[in-house]
Amino acid sequence: MTHPAVPACLCTSYSVKNQKGGTLLDEEVTTLEEHQRRLADVDGYRPSKCDNCGGLRLHAHDFRERILRADPEKLVTTIRRYDCADCDAVWQVMPVFIARHLHRRWTVVEAATGTKDAASSQPSVPESTTRRWLRRLALSAVEVTQLLVSAAGDVVATVVSTVMGSAGSRGQLAVALATAGLIEADHQLEQLAGWVHRLMPGVRLM
């Protein structure tokens, strides 16, 4: 089966000329409670170094508000930003449970797309939005797979070849990795998106 080509907006990394800063995902912050605890401490989200120049002096810069559409608990979430004293790059650090660019939590996205069972407390998502998400999950996983193989080598390569074949979709890749125990089945999109962003900041799963 041939899967649709991946649009450029999902494949653009931060490693472009003259671009400084961007978004970092903290893969350890999976709940709103832990996020609030980190925000209360100026060092809670502070990166160990600047991803642009490698500098070690990152100062607390300011806060930004991130709107989470129809969120069951909190409609507006605060995001902390840090400034590199050496190159002036500004980094916003987001918890991994927020789906970058989708304006939802990953639990909402996963429930809407059938990746996990929907809880009664999960908000409804417009049908047009759900269809768009499903179309993106049906896109080719070739680029994403190449990133993961570069990091995990034979482990991911074996999963791809034995579980999903060489030309699977992004949704199939998430299921395959969860089946192999490399990511959690109930958080497969969240964890896969975090993994991809860590390997190539700016690149999106969907």
pLDDT digits (tens, 9 = 90+) for 131-180: 999 999 999 888 888 888 888 777 777 877 766 666 789 999 999 899 88
DSSP assignments along 18-73, one per residue: T---EEEEETT--SHHHHHHHHTSTTTT--SS-TTT--S-EEEEEEEEEE-TT-SS
Calpha distance 21→188 (Å, rounded):
27
* pLDDT value of residue 18: 67
Angle at alpha carbon of residue 138, lines to 136 and 140, rounded to 5°: 95
pTM to 2 decimal places: 0.86
CA 140 distance to own-chain centroid: 17
Q: What is the pLDDT of residues 69-122, one digit of tens each?
A: 867 667 788 999 999 999 999 999 999 999 988 989 998 899 899 887 655 566
Pairing of strands 90-95, 22-26: parallel
In sequence order, the 6+-apart residues with CB closer than 8 A to the CB of 93 are 23, 24, 25, 26, 45, 47, 79, 80, 81, 82
Enumerate the domain spans of the chain: 19-99, 104-199
* Chain segment 7-51, per-residue pLDDT in tens: 888 988 876 666 789 999 999 999 999 999 999 999 999 999 998
Tell me if 118 sits within 8 A of 112, measured CB to CB.
yes
